[in-house]
Structure 1
Amino acid sequence: MTQRNFTRRFLLGSAAVLAGATLLPQGVLAAEPIKVAGVYTVPVEQQWVSRIHKAAEAAQERGDIEYTFTENVSNTDYARVLREYAEAGNQLIVGEVFGAEAEAREVAADYPEVAFLMGSSFKQDEALPNFAVFDNYIQDAAYLSGIIAGAMTESGNIGMVGGFPIPEVNRLMHAFMAGAQEMNPDIKFQVSFIGSWFDPPKAKETAFAMVEQGADVLYAERFGVSDAAQEKGVLAIGNVIDTQAEYPETVVASALWHFEPTLDAAIAAVKAGEFKADDYGRYSFMSEGGSSLAPLGTFEGKVPAEALDMVKEREQAIKDGSFTVDINDEEPKSS
């Protein structure tokens, strides 16, 4: 899905337009809501996008923005929708361009007065000063959820189902695996990718196969995995959102993503006339309030004390900077 070798030819043609445009125009009054549009390739119910949508709705409720959005936009249609929102006077456009990287940056080059904040596998480019990137760097919380998983598995066999093996997914899986191995270095992992961001039936079938191969804990990077865990009577670890209410006897813990710090920083920058090419990924770190470990809820008292003590110790160390979770973007492999 990610276009890793996209060309930068469009930057050459836009150099004259962008020359000197290090900051967006001043003049947006802090008290006035700014117009923000969201462009999403999946339904807003999907885990990852739901966090962006939730943060935007919260910002609108408190009067900071006027928010509109379009969901289920195909990669081939993405640039057209971006242009329509730019032409409609939106001051900030947020979305995810993993499958339309070059096209999205071309649009941004044509509308230097509009701020673009896009989920991306690539970094910002100073030659495109109105295009900032972000990502869900929630490896801190994923690591902590791995510690719990490592304490809960009895077979020492954990199944992991992801969408695509891109950095956004890989780094969370690696962090989770590292946490699990803190509790048991001999744990084995089954790793598989379904080639889709939203295909619950396929994720479910993949998870079923892992349970048949001995997994008693499943890492639910995609929707459908927790359904399989529930049906097979094994445990699951959630990702990005907390689904324990739907699976009270199945989902032990979840690594949560909070997009509010990311979006709020971008809104403030646009209002101040200071939005620029930047990497907003840092706002997803636990130390910035961008990620957390969900409450144990129905599993309170069921997780070994040794694991909880380690989670508490490491969480504090992560927040004060004395412990750093490695960021490994390479594709994880089965043991």
Structure 2
Amino acid sequence: MTTRRKVLKLGAGLAVLATLGLPGAHAADAIKVAAIYTVPVEQQWVSRIHKALKAAEGRGEITYVFSESVGNADYERVMRQYAEQGVQLIVGEAFAVEAAARKVAKDYPQTAFLLGSSGKPQAPNFSVFDNYIQEPSYLTGMIAGGMTKSNVIGLVGGFPIPEVNRLMQAFMAGAREVNPQVKFKVSFIGSWFDPPKAKEAALAQIDQGADVLYAERFGVSDAAKERGKLAIGNVIDTQEQYPKTVVASALWFMEPTIARALYQIELGRFKAEDYGQYSMMKYLGSDLAPLGTFADKVPAELQEKVRIKRAAIFDGGFVVPVIDTEPKSTP
């Protein structure tokens, strides 16, 4: 089976490849891929990258090794080790190690680098990506705005960086569209993976009247469950673990981004490029999770508003603004 056909077996299927505009390809040996993560692979954001790479490995497209919970001080060393081993593609997140990561890429111009970054691509081989899932975040905000009874919604995030800010801002805008009276409580815990701290922040917001919580971090849904409140998921769908708590989630799919990178390597034309767009809904890089256990609990009128808005996003009739500034609590 050609690599082209293997790529067609991605979860997004034919539609993804059609939007990517990929030409035909010839069979090739498995591409050597290594990933470097600063947090455990269970963490939401990293889990999406890991899942896409494991799927590609399962189809025989790549060989895949990874290092998790790598400290910032060790990131450059690990990158160099993988590059020295002849890895063809290094994937990871460079947000806290931008300078070091870009330095390594310059030293290994024959290696392809695809890293989560707030910065721009760096020629010739340092490509960047991001989880531009502000579109489904807007839709979940609409649901939250329509489900709150107290008109107070809490948001708990890791750090106020653009990657988090834009999702929160979109969520808040969606909530305001259906409920202009809604108010927000916003907190950042200063960590990418500290569920107890996130839970504590969420409990404080509940004490301030929040009855719907935006769970940008693990731990928030635990607080909502404990107090009988509702939660909105981010990046992954955790409704199975919280069937009476998580109403909806904005999902991120890394498969289109990985498919694009692998194909470019296969053709020998990988170059510095911004892959951010492949996280957007029109490329099937993100979407709204099914309502599942809340299908009969979310009012039909609200569901219809969300359905219409989702369709408008797909056909280009509505564009969710990308606002990277730090969101603030309602005065």
Q: Could you say whether these structures have the same fold, taking a TM-score greater than 0.5 normalized by the shorter chain as the test?
A: yes
**Structure 1: distance between partners of 2:312 and 2:155:** 27
Q: Partners in 2 of 1:119 and 1:287 — Cα distance?
A: 20
Question: Is 1:56 the equivalent of 2:65?
Answer: no
Write the letter of the residue equivalent to 1:210: Q
Of the three residues 281, 291, 307, the one matched with 1:286 is 281
Distance 2:112 2:88 in 1: 6
Determine helix, strand or coil for the equivalent of 1:302: coil
How far off its partner does 1:29 sit?
Answer: 6.8
Within 5 Å, give how 1:52-131 maps onto structure 2: 52-125=49-122, 128-131=123-126
- Partners of 1:307 and 1:150 in 2: CA distance: 10
State the partner residue of 2:195.
200
2:174 matched residue in structure 1: 179
Alignment of 1:161-180 (within 5 A): 161-180=156-175
User: What one-letter code is carried by the residue in structure 2 that aligns with 1:190?
Assistant: K
SS in 1 for 2:121: coil
1:215 equivalent to 2:210? Answer: yes
Supply the distance in 2 between the matched residues of 1:190 and 1:246 (Cα, whole angstroms).
25
2:183 equivalent to 1:188: yes
- Give every structure 1 segment of 4 or more consecutive aligned residues whose post-TM-superposition deviation is greater than 6 Å: none
Inter-partner Cα distance in structure 2 for 1:272 and 1:230? 49
| Partner Cα separation in structure 2 for residue 311 and residue 175 of structure 1 | 14
Aligned length: 306
Asked if structure 2 preserves the Cα contact closer than 8 Å seen for 1:144 and 1:176, the reply is: yes
Say which of 40, 43, 50 aligns to 1:43. 40
Q: Distance in 2 between matches of 1:222 and 1:244?
A: 15
Q: CA RMSD in A?
A: 1.0
Q: Which residue in the other structure is 1:3 paired with?
A: none
Distance in 1 (alpha carbons) for counterparts of 2:27 and 2:250: 34
Give TM-score scaled by structure 1 length. Answer: 0.90
Higher mean C-alpha deviation, range 306-315 or range 165-174? 306-315
Cα deviation, residue 101, structure 1: 0.3
Q: SS at the partner of 2:137?
A: helix
Residue 134 of structure 1 corresponds to: 129
1:239 is displaced (CA, Å) by 0.1
**Matched ranges for 1:260-279 at <5 A:** 260-279=255-274
Q: TM-score, normalised by structure 2?
A: 0.91
Aligned amino acid, residue 124 of structure 1: P
Unpaired stretches in structure 2, ≥5 consecutive residues? 1-24
